[in-house]
């Protein structure tokens, strides 16, 4: 199914990966492709056929960042809906976000992200995150006590 002008919503998976270092940090990825090209967000991507949501979360996290996570907790869902100038549905993602603690790996951006970074939870302003990302990060912090 095409991601641009899809016939139905696409299931997206995100991971809010946290660590307690430096009074708490969250892993962010700068999008390397549309939609939201160049924007900072949580790592994630589309679920593949035959893949569970948790398998997709772990795969996307590792592909985009090189990192692995401990147990995944369902945190939230987010609807990302984008129309073109004519009002047609250009992108429609229903995103399932998981919360997890950093387990291991070597931080490195994958081929579909421009940059990855650990961001201090008390210094997220420079990343200009979408309000839904702030909501997911807040839920994840409560779930994981970070």
Domains by residue range for the chain, with CATH: 10-144 (3.90.79.10)
Of 34-38, 55-59, 137-141, the poorest mean pLDDT is in 34-38
Contacts of 45 (CB under 8 A, 6+ apart): 12, 13, 56, 60, 63, 64, 112
- On the question of pLDDT at 34 being above 90, the answer is no
- On the question of pLDDT at 2 being above 90, the answer is no
DSSP structure class, residue 55: H
> d(Cα 120, Cα 118) in Å, to the nearest integer?
7
What are the tens digits of pLDDT across the range 75-93? 999 999 999 999 999 999 9
Contacts of 93 (CB under 8 A, 6+ apart): 9, 10, 11, 12, 46, 79, 80, 81
For residue 21, the model assigns a pLDDT of 82
Phi, psi of 60 (to 5 degrees): -60, -45
């Amino acid at each position: 199914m095409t991601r641009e002008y899809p016939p139905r919503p696409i299931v997206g998976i995100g991971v809010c990966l946290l660590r307690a270092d430096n009074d708490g940090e969250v892993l962010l990825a700068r999008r390397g492709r549309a939609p939201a090209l160049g924007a900072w967000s949580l790592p994630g991507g589309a679920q593949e056929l035959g893949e569970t949501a948790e398998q997709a979360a772990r795969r996307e996290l590792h592909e985009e960042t090189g990192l692995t996570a401990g147990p995944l907790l369902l945190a939230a869902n987010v609807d990302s809906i984008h129309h073109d100038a004519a009002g047609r549905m250009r992108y429609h993602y229903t995103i399932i976000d998981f919360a997890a603690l950093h387990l291991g790996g070597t931080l490195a951006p994958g081929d579909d992200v421009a940059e990855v970074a650990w961001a201090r939870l008390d210094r997220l302003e420079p990343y200009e995150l979408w309000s839904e990302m702030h909501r997911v990060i807040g839920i994840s912090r409560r779930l994981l006590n970070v």
